[in-house]
A and B are shown apart, each in its own frame.
Chain A
Amino acid sequence: MHELSLAQSLIDQLLELAREHQAERINRVLVTLGPFSGIVRDSFEFGFNVLKESHDVTRKAVLELETPDPVYVCLDCEKVAVIPFATPNDQMETRSGYPYPKKCPWCCLTRLSPKGGTELILNQVEME
């Protein structure tokens, strides 16, 4: 549940920005959540929506979370591939007993190593 402390640091940062720009309220907050950040999107969103209620400045703020598609490097052919997360309809292969839909689009082998994608970035804030 570190999502809650991360949501708290977002709120803190927003309060600071509002002070700095002499804004009375924050309307919209754009955050990028990396696909391999290890941060659960729903928990982060839930935490934000609970915590924003404690301040007049953030009460009306809408959080827009964006997650870029995951990028992998194939350890067999060394090519880079962008492979969106599986949807429930996708055909799953199982590896180690877990659904594992990923296969290198170039060589079809499965040794795909995640590349980057660990970021949690506050991009843009709309305030007035």
Chain B
Amino acid sequence: MCDTCGCQLHHHHHADPKIVEVNQSLLAANQKQAESNRHHIEQMGAVAINLISSPGSGKTTLLERTIEILKDTFKIGVIEGDIETERDADRIRAKGVPAVQLTTGGACHLDAPIVHGGLHVLEHLAKGGKYDLIFIENVGNLVCPATFDLGEHQRVILLSVPEGSDKPVKYPATFRSADLMLITKTDLVPYFDFSMDEATKEAGILKPGLEILPLSATTGDGFERWIAYLHGLLKR
């Protein structure tokens, strides 16, 4: 064991260090749960959308308006992620749709295990446990949520006009992970120096071919394309 001093029986020498090759993603556990969530969601008959944006970019308002338009056409369920409070879930319930509030108690993002719990509650809230569309509103944060697959089928990133058109360049990892980018609060364009051109160009460099839809939940402008996109998802 130890040749240097000739002592073979004593404990004071440690065993030789051992090198273990792991080569595994640190996100493997989350990824595994995410795959299982995706399967679970499909068993529920649904397509799931993960909504990510900075705080206050209009995620809940988008959902309220979308529910008003689609609730007689599709069975919709919503999972709300926030650090604290039931407020966003209450806003969704007021529209007559089942909503689960997940509070992370400080964590800046949802992860797949938390959403797994939410799916079970959502299943319980619907007769027969069936849905067409499940929206998951992530914790308001443009950085952290991007790293965690929740088991969604589509990831939608919202960028609101008051935040500025430089956000894609400044938060590239988030915009690269998007399946669709919504530019929200377009009714405010006259009051801010937001450049539609810059936002769409930079996002298009980060993720070539990324679909980008500008809309306003206040005026309803741009909603036809958003609703058409949702219909498209359900036809697949």
Q: With A and B bound together, what is the CA distance between A112 and B207 in angstroms?
A: 10
Asked if residues B202 and A96 are in contact (CB atoms below 8 Å), the reply is: yes
Question: Would you call A108 an interface residue if the criterion is a C-beta within 8 Å of the partner chain's C-beta atoms?
Answer: no
- Give the contact stretch, choosing among A32-40, A49-57, A84-92: A32-40
Asked if residues A21 and B206 are in contact (CB atoms below 8 Å), the reply is: no
Q: With A and B bound together, what is the CA distance between A109 and B120 in angstroms?
A: 50
A23, A75, A96: the one within 8 Å of B208 (CB): A75
A-side interface size class: 35 or more
Main SS at interface, chain A: mixed
Q: Enumerate chain B residues within 8 angstroms of A23, measured Cβ to Cβ.
A: 18
A contact set with B: CB distance below 8 Å: 1-2, 5-6, 9-10, 13, 17, 21, 23-24, 27, 31, 36-39, 75, 95-98, 100, 111-114, 118-128
Asked if residues B23 and A122 are in contact (CB atoms below 8 Å), the reply is: yes
Asked if residues B22 and A38 are in contact (CB atoms below 8 Å), the reply is: no
The B1-30 residues at the A interface (CB cut-off 8 A) are 14-27, 29-30
B contact set with A: CB distance below 8 Å: 14-27, 29-30, 107-109, 111, 143-144, 146-148, 165-166, 169-174, 176, 198, 202, 205-208
Q: Enumerate chain A residues within 8 angstroms of B108, measured Cβ to Cβ.
A: 1-2
**B3 CB, nearest partner CB in chain A, Å:** 17
Q: With A and B bound together, what is the CA distance between A98 and B167 in angstroms?
A: 11
Asked if residues A9 and B29 are in contact (CB atoms below 8 Å), the reply is: yes
Q: Enumerate chain A residues within 8 angstroms of B107, measured Cβ to Cβ.
A: 5
Asked if residues B147 and A122 are in contact (CB atoms below 8 Å), the reply is: no
Asked if residues B18 and A21 are in contact (CB atoms below 8 Å), the reply is: yes
Asked if residues B146 and A38 are in contact (CB atoms below 8 Å), the reply is: yes
Given A120-B27, A122-B23, A123-B23, check contact A2 B166 (CB 8 Å).
no
Q: Enumerate chain A residues within 8 angstroms of B208, measured Cβ to Cβ.
A: 75, 113
Asked if residues B26 and A114 are in contact (CB atoms below 8 Å), the reply is: no
Q: Enumerate chain A residues within 8 angstroms of B147, measured Cβ to Cβ.
A: 2, 6, 37-39
